[in-house]
């Protein structure tokens, strides 16, 4: 199938997550059923300043495809310049992504992320500018307080040339609290068929199918990917045993250690730990021990211990 100018194998994608969708994470989900992944948020200002840490976020591998590079900036000139640097550094990206959804003050206070929802003229110019570089443009945004304003903003982005608009059903003021509003996504996908993807509270196959039944062209899994790391495979009809899942995650831990170092690998495994331990006898104690782990080997041993306990 085709979504937003990109050929994908199924409508389930990995959403961008700041500090999380690093190379080993994207590789894991790409090889476990995600049809598309995103980099974490990358600062265009950092790219323009030749910041090495920012450049590190552009690293990719042959295991992940297609891949969208998600950029953030507070005006169209910085965004386009940053995108041009990106194209010089790496030619493996299938599309540009613009973040207009991040609600965190460190991003919004300088006019980036969800702050752009209050600057439609700038948002329009951003999409227009990126389209001139030749790759599809995907925008991630949040719903506005009023549904009619959300529809107007979505229409503006599409008129500017956006190939896909992913709408998260929470407002900026909600951040990650409360429940994502699905009604606005249903309205938007009905009004702009073929252009709208969904995000927000995607935790089960039922959630995915509900969004697709609304007419969404794709569904983005964010935090739900860590509560069920095999949701992509399950959507595609592949189901693993408990021990198979554990072995896959332990292989991921070792691979993440090789690429990103032990500290980052440990942080990621703590996010995955709950999915493995949630049905085990004494799972609360095991989760607590996992969260307190100070080394990768320590958390691996805790996960293995959970695998041999009986309900």
Each residue's pLDDT tens digit, 95-119: 999 999 999 999 999 999 999 999 9
**pLDDT value of position 262:** 96
pLDDT at 56: 95
Coil/strand/helix, residue 193? coil
Of 252, 308, 251, 242, the C-alpha closest to 275 is 242
Cα gap 173→181, rounded to integer Å: 14
Residue range 136-148: mean pLDDT, rounded: 97
Predicted confidence band of residue 310 (pLDDT cuts 50, 70, 90): very low
Mean of pLDDT over the chain: 94
- The string of pLDDT tens digits covering residues 244-289 is 998 999 999 999 999 999 999 999 999 988 887 775 555 778 888 8
Residue 53 has pLDDT above 70, yes or no: yes
Per-residue pLDDT band at 311 (split at 50, 70, 90): very low
pLDDT at 253: 95
Is the pLDDT at 300 greater than 70? The verdict is: yes
Q: How far is CA 284 from CA 256, 277, 300, in A?
A: 26, 8, 17
Report the interhelical angle of 120-131 vs 147-160 (nearest 10°): 30
pLDDT > 90? residue 190: yes
Q: In the chain, pLDDT over 70 holds for what percent of residues?
A: 97
* Higher-scoring residue by pLDDT: 134, 281: 134
The structure's pTM equals: 0.93
Q: Is 95 helix (H, G, I), strand (E, B) or coil?
A: strand
Residue 106 has a CB neighbour count (10 Å cut-off) of: 9
Residue 13 pairs in a beta bridge with 220
Q: What does the DSSP 8-state code read for residue 41?
A: P
CB neighbourhood size of 243 (10 A): 10
Tell me the chain's radius of gyration from C-alpha atoms. Answer: 19
When pLDDT is averaged across residues 47-54 and rounded to a whole number, the result is 96
The string of pLDDT tens digits covering residues 208-233 is 999 999 999 999 999 999 989 999 99
Beta bridge partners of 2: 7
pLDDT at 279: 59
């Amino acid at each position: 199938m085709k979504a937003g100018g990109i050929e994908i194998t199924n409508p389930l994608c990995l959403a961008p997550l700041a500090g999380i969708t690093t190379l080993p994470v994207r590789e894991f989900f790409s090889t476990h059923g995600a049809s598309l992944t995103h980099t974490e948020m990358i600062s265009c200002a950092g790219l323009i300043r030749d910041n090495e840490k920012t450049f590190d976020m552009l690293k990719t591998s042959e295991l992940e495809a297609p891949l969208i590079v998600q950029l953030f900036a507070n005006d169209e000139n910085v965004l386009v310049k940053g995108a041009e640097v990106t194209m010089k550094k790496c030619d493996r990206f299938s599309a540009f992504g613009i973040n207009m959804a991040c609600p965190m003050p460190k991003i919004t206070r300088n006019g980036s992320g969800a702050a752009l929802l209050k600057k439609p003229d700038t948002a329009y110019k951003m999409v227009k500018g990126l389209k001139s570089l030749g790759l599809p443009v995907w925008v991630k945004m949040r719903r506005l307080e009023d549904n009619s304003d959300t529809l107007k903003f979505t229409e503006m982005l599409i008129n500017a040339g956006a190939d896909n608009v992913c709408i998260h059903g929470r407002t900026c003021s909600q951040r990650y609290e409360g429940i994502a509003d699905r009604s606005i996504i249903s309205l938007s996908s009905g009004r702009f068929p073929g252009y709208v993807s969904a995000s927000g509270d995607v935790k089960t196959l039922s959630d995915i199918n509900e969004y697709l039944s609304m007419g969404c062209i794709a569904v983005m899994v964010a935090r739900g990917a860590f509560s069920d790391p095999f949701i992509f495979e399950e959507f595609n009809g592949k189901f693993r045993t408990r021990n198979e899942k554990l072995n896959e995650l332990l292989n991921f831990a070792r691979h993440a250690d090789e690429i990103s170092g032990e500290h980052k690998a440990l942080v990621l495994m703590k996010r995955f730990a709950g999915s493995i331990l949630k049905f085990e006898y004494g799972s609360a104690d095991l989760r607590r021990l996992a969260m307190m782990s100070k080394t990768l080997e320590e958390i691996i041993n805790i996960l293995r211990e959970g695998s041999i306990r009986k309900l």
